[in-house]
Amino acid sequence: MNPLRWSFRAQFLFGFLICAGLLGYAIYVQVQLGIEPCPLCIFQRIAFAALGLLFLLGALHGPARSGGRKVYGVLAFLAAAIGAGISTKHVSVQLFPDPMASCGPPLSFLRETMGPFEVLRRVLTGTGDCGNIDWRFLGLSMPMWCLICFVALALFALYAGFKARRRSLH
């Protein structure tokens, strides 16, 4: 059961299931444990959703030619790289908090009062809210785990997209 030996479709379906599981756990933490996501957490969720969608599309399409598999691999890699960038920003806000930062308004308020680019700029500058560490597992915060998952999924997507396809002798 080595995922690195599976077919392209199986590997991309596996990537989709990983993303769905991560999103499901994030929703569980929010609903059951009562930990509200900060704006950077929400953007990481969006990145996991986009990555999962690309994995699902690749699994459903299952391109026969290597060019199509490479395109899906690169697109999934880019989505994971964007998610890793957001996670890196979030980790830096947690590790090096600004002493003058205060909790900013919720994302819903920002969307109602600002344009999309201003919301993006405001969220990516990080707030005191994003510097809080409410959850840890094995000593790492959730954004740190997200960063690890994004990097692993990015490498997995590249491997799945660029590995040589086995030819059967029959």
Which tens digit of pLDDT belongs to each residue from 58-76? 999 888 787 888 999 999 9
From residue 19, give the alpha-carbon distance in Å to each of 15, 22, 47, 84, 120. Answer: 6, 5, 10, 14, 23
Domain for residue 170, yes or no?
no
Full domain range(s) for residue 36: 8-162
Q: Mapped to the 3 state alphabet, what secondary structure does 74-131 carry? A: HHHHHHHHHHHHHHHHHHHHHHCCCCCCCCCCCHHHHHHHCCHHHHHHHHHCCCHHHH
For residue 22 the two structure tokens come to 């991560």
CATH of the domain at 56: 1.20.1550.10
Structural domains in the chain (count): 1
Residue type, position 28, single letter: Y
Three-class DSSP category at 62: coil
The span from the CA of 6 to the CA of 8, in Å, is 7
Domain for residue 3, yes or no?
no
Domain for residue 118, yes or no?
yes
- Residues 6 or more apart whose Cβ sits within 8 Å of residue 40: 86, 89, 90, 93, 123, 124, 126, 130, 143
Domain for residue 21, yes or no?
yes
pTM: 0.78
Domain for residue 147, yes or no?
yes
pLDDT band (50, 70, 90) for residue 170: very low
From residue 83, give the alpha-carbon distance in Å to each of 47, 68, 124, 154. Answer: 5, 23, 12, 10
The span from the CA of 103 to the CA of 47, in Å, is 23
DSSP state of 6: S
Query: By the 8 A CB rule, do 143 and 94 touch?
Result: yes
Q: In the predicted model, what is the mean pLDDT of the chain?
A: 83
Q: What is the pLDDT of residues 15-33, one digit of tens each?
A: 999 999 999 999 998 888 8
